[in-house]
Chains A and B, each alone.
Chain A
Amino acid sequence: MKSESLREAYGKKLVELGRVHKDLVVLDADLSSSTKTQAFGKEFPDRFFNMGISEQSMVTTAAGMALSDLKPFVSTFAIFLTRTYEQIRQSVCYNNINVKFVVTHAGITVGEDGATHQMVEDVGLMSGLPNMKVIVPSDSVETESVIDYLVEKTKTPYYVRLTREKFPVLNEEGYQFREGKNTVLRDGNDLTIFANGSMLSFALQAAEKLKELAIDTAVINVSSIKPMDRSNIIEYAKKTGHIVTAEEHSIYNGLGSRVCEVTSEEYPVPVVRVGMKDSFGKSGKSWELFDYFHMGVNDIVSAGVKSFREEKKYETIS
């Protein structure tokens, strides 16, 4: 399976859209060669604003641009955008204006840079903001489709979470992102794995292994964290009765928490969450870190098995 960079896809798409949309502007905070907005800056120097290492100024400037009917895209690393949480809250979300935040280097796949740069709390932070929508694309194809959608169809704040590493391309060419809709990548009857971002390809591998254990596993892409596809989650809670969530993020306030909210409100079933468990990251090779933090393929398999054990426990109690 070929792997592609999500941020490269983002940068490429921006340039493409910039040719058509003359009101598209891009802001970065001295990381444009890493976030890949640099390409836009080269082609459209008048519409590219390198704000320096001044994220607060970057976010409020973008707010002023959106209030003046431009379409600003704001990019930096996930970790550095969160320092402007309050600017995002007050000047962007409270005004409910057309500012798009596309961050890169989220999660532990920043690898060697270590804990200071591994942002695993951002989905929770951003999902908590009224008017903000949160998207976690799983591959380059989905990234392009999301950016297309944001420019063509939306006028409110969005947070799009990208990563540093290349990820396997899982979505077919021509795939179209649908806000608030999950995508079933593999159907199953015994267990559902809801995953997104880097964890989606792990989830598919885990499903293969679970098949050997006679657990027929569905794998569903939840790239639209907010709004969330509640009806799809309820449908699969009813159909399979067991759920695993997998995310390159804290299990608190991210995909896992949101899935638990939906199931506990609508149709309670055992849910086992795979992700960062209230800890900071660590230096290391990206792919080593997944195993270190118990977020690898085998950990997802174990979580799947565990979801059935939980059921037995309930049976014993009753």
Chain B
Amino acid sequence: MADHADGIGGLKYDRSKRAWPNEMNIFIALVLIVAVFEALGQILPYMDGQSFLFDTNDRFDTIFNEARLRIIILQVAIIGIISLGVTQVIISGGIDLSSGPLTAATAMIVMSFAQTELVNGNPNPAAVFGPWAMDLPVIVPVIVGLCFGAFIGSINGSLIAFTRIPPFIATLGMFLICRGIAQWWTRGQPVSFPTEGYAWLGSGMMPVIWFVLLAILCHVLLRYTVYGKHTYAIGSNEDAARMSGINVKRHKVMVYMIASMLAAFAAIVLSSKNLTAQSGMGLFYELYAIAMAVIGGVSLQGGRGSIIGTVLGAMVFGVIQSGFTYVKLDAYFQIMAMGFIIISAVVLDQWRQQRAASRS
């Protein structure tokens, strides 16, 4: 069959005109952004010639400034995990606004099953439950968290699939419900002092390892399984998907469940990393997760995007954040500039899409 690779029915297929993968554009953008910060470091007078990327002070064995790179990937890893799920929701033609507050609610609940009984020989001052919930094996809070995520996700998905209310409204409602749950759980008190096993989950570079593992898993799901193919099909043309015999409703519930379980897992890693859970945590995470996906080329109209794109989008997000700090941009301007960058990413992508469409 190899001789058919050049088109069938006698039509020539020009390999040089093969579609340029969208992910390459994002990668190039990432490299350019790093280069711009590197250049700014040399140009701006108050920077004393510091390097953004390279190790100029000989603090590390490698040529790179490892500390900065580490901070960048650690910063994006947890929101990145949420973004992996949000990517799937957006590809299926939906949106999930509830992931940030879900992170907070899950962290609060999970943490109360992960506490130690004694802190420095004294009873845990932040104890939520009695002794029965103390010093449980680490698998217990993890399962509680994933179940809670699956539960919230199935409500999101069922609302959207069966009552046909727009995903924006359904998940906006869930946004408030989850924030409410997070505050009600301990009446606003933080939950602290996890077991050693639980603290390990988010210690050191563990968040990055989880992010990479889950990204690989999600990539395989979307690219190589029936689940992924149907997710793209539903986002691309829901009527066609339904007419093809795909159970669109059940599939949507599944997509939202997976997204919420990923957000719940992010909550586990986050609370473990911080060694505490607070009802206010995860602020703007839902928006940052959407932003990472969108920067990574996921189309809000559905049907288009990839996990590789989202991972690169997360890296762009992290590099820009770190770069702003590096050039000592005022924190207030940083948030504004972030908004500006998200808008430009979408405008650039649409412009590129239109150009590609008019060329073919």
Q: Are chains A and B native binding partners rather than an unrelated pairing?
A: no
